[in-house]
Structure 1
Amino acid sequence: MFISLEGKSAIVTGASRGIGRGIAAGLAGAGAKVLVVSRSRDEAGAVAEAIGNGAVGFSADVASPEGCGAMAAEAEARFGGIDILCANAGIFPAAKLSEMTADDFDHVMATNLRSTFLSVQAVLPAMERGGKGRVILTSSITGPVTGYPGWSHYGASKAGQLGFMRTAAIELAPRNITVNAVMPGNIFTEGLEGMGADYIARMEASIPLKRLGRVEDIANAVLFFASDEAAYVTGQGLVVDGGQILPESLGALEAM
């Protein structure tokens, strides 16, 4: 499956760890040439070396037009074009509304939402020259579907990505560029390793499949959206959460 990804050129932002690293590895495993983008050149290079298939590490601040422009130029120079953009860069610091500063809010919106717009805008010329493109955004269930105390700025940024996606999909459809989003639930990444077994067990208890997701679960959804098999799918968000948003309460799970 996904043989159509062989030899394609892909950019993955926020790819030095977690979901982004998993997406980059999935694309490389499917035969794509990946530009691994992170703020840290050393971390990006280490991931590129680990996933192989000619992947290249690159350092950029994707919240800036200059960083996104440099990223797109590097991918086109290295790989001869840009077929796939995975706009995955994101942060999720916690701050309750009574404590959140305007700078806190702006920082999350710049990293999560502004970077989405700038990354997409930067790759458009190369995708147009290639005659088609695939854009995949990493959104979340938090914001578009659910909420969690301390993450109002994060939730706003992730809901904003879906609003951006729908209009971008309309505008870019005539250019044969699709725009879709994956919406992860609770995924086991490096950030959860230090939270302890009790915390993880409580999270798993709220998921019908009784486990946290793996980065590979998100990567597989991205591979579909990036493939020729998904050529007629655009403007869609795919929830990948083990059924987490389905129960109306924990009581619904206890009734099982």
Structure 2
Amino acid sequence: MTSLLAGRTAVITGGANGLGFAIAQAFFAQGANVVLGDLDGAAADAAAARLGPEARAQGVACDVTSEDDVDRLLTFATSAFGRLDVMVNNAGVTRDKTMRKMSLDDFEFVIDVHLRGTWLGTRAAAALMRDQGQGGSIINMSSISGKVGNPGQTNYSAAKAGIVGLTKAAAKEVGFAGVRVNALQPGIIETAMTQKLTDEVRAARLADVPLGRFGQPSEVAQAALFLASDMSSYLTGITLEISGGRNI
């Protein structure tokens, strides 16, 4: 059977660990050339080495809030592999506090990484894909927090909600060129970030999940693979929830 992404090139920001690396693993297994962008360039290189042969996986240091860095990341991908087919804007951070305790710096930093970073990645990738004339898939990482809002996360929830609006608007702008833009909204997924939650918080959130368990990074990766591949060739502007039914 032909691999779903054979011969295609995918760039994933925040790709050195967590959901980004899980997505990279799924793409690589399906034949894609993968470029991992990460603020920690050494971690990106190490993650690329864990994927497999250097000829198909590369790591690049990238600050997604920097226009120059994002452009350099995509230039590297096209120079190394000749084209760009998939862009996953996944890089993210949290600085959780109630509004009363949250500083303006805390708010702006989270907004910049998520929303500015996703906009820069979407804009740059869409331009390359239009010029190539063969379409492409852009996948933006939102969150269930952007749908329902979480206390202590006014910055994060605002950024993740903004990504949904950005995705819809971008999809309308570039659909004529065969460029699809979609978003993912993971719920509670077993990552290093969620494992830091207290037992009380974990139990409260688990109680809201009809499937009765937290999700695995591989399950988010499979949804990303679907959106990256031709299986979703007539889908654009959608937000796909991977939440076990939480907040339905």
TM-score (normalised: structure 1): 0.91
3-state SS, counterpart of residue 104 of structure 1: helix
Aligned to 1:5, the other structure's residue is in SS state: coil
| Matched residue, 1:139 | 142
Tell me, in whole angstroms, the C-alpha distance in 2 between the residues paired with 1:164 and 1:194: 30
Contact kept? 1:83, 1:133, Cα under 8 Å: yes
- How far has the Cα of 1:2 moved from its partner? 7.9
User: Tell me, what secondary structure is at the counterpart of 2:184?
Assistant: strand
Equivalent-residue separation in structure 1 for 2:83 and 2:234 (angstroms):
22
Report the counterpart of residue 73 of structure 1 in structure 2: 75
RMSD across aligned positions (CA): 1.6
In 1, the alpha carbon distance for the partners of 2:67 and 2:196 equals 35
Confirm whether residue 52 of structure 1 aligns to residue 55 of structure 2: no
Q: 1:110, 1:128 → 2: CA distance? A: 26
Structure 2 spans left out of the alignment, 5+ residues: none
1:206 aligns to what? 208
Which residue identity lines up with residue 40 of structure 1 in the other structure?
D
* Shift, 1:3, TM fit: 2.9
CA contact (8 A) 2:38 2:63 kept: yes
The alignment partner of 2:193 has SS state of helix
* 2:6 equivalent in structure 1: 6
Q: Which residues in structure 2 correspond to 1:135-214 (within 5 Å)?
A: 135-143=138-146, 145-195=147-197, 199-214=201-216
Q: Aligned in 2, Cα 1:152/1:2: closer, same or farther, shift over 3 Å?
A: farther
The offset of 1:170, in angstroms, is 0.5
**2:26–2:221 contact (8 Å) kept in structure 1:** yes
Relative to structure 1, the CA distance from residue 231 to residue 111 in structure 2 (aligned partners, 3 Å threshold; closer, same or farther) is same
Q: Which amino acid aligns with 1:227?
A: S
User: Are residues 1:231 and 2:199 paired?
Assistant: no
In the TM superposition, 1:31-110 aligns within 5 A as 31-53=31-53, 54-110=56-112
Structure 1 residue 27: deviation in Å?
0.7
Secondary structure in 1 matching 2:145: coil
Name the SS of the counterpart of 1:56 in structure 2: strand
- Native 8 Å contact 1:35 1:56 kept in 2: yes
Shift of 1:121: 1.6
Code of the residue aligned with 1:215 in structure 2: it is: P
Deviations 1:88-131 (A, max 9, x none): 01112201111112211111111000001111122233212332
Q: How far apart, CA to CA, are the structure 2 residues paired with 1:193 and 1:167?
A: 34
Which residue is 1:249 aligned to? Answer: none
Secondary structure of 1:183's counterpart equals strand
Listed as ranges, the gaps of 5+ residues in structure 1 are 247-256
Q: How many residues align?
A: 245
Equivalent residue number for residue 126 of structure 2: 124
The AA in structure 2 aligned to 1:94 is D
Quote how far apart the aligned CAs of 1:203 are.
Answer: 3.1
Change (3 A) 1:35 1:10: same
Q: Does the CA contact (< 8 Å) of 2:188 and 2:194 recur in 1?
A: no
What per-residue deviation string (whole Å, max 9, x for no partner) do you get for residues 171-230 of structure 1? 000111000011000000012334465654443232111111000111111111111121
Q: Which residue of 2 aligns with 1:22?
A: 22
Structure 2 CA distance for aligned equivalents of residues 10 and 75 of structure 1: 8
TM-score, normalising length: structure 2: 0.94
Identity of aligned residues (%): 34
Distance 1:192 1:185 in 2: 10
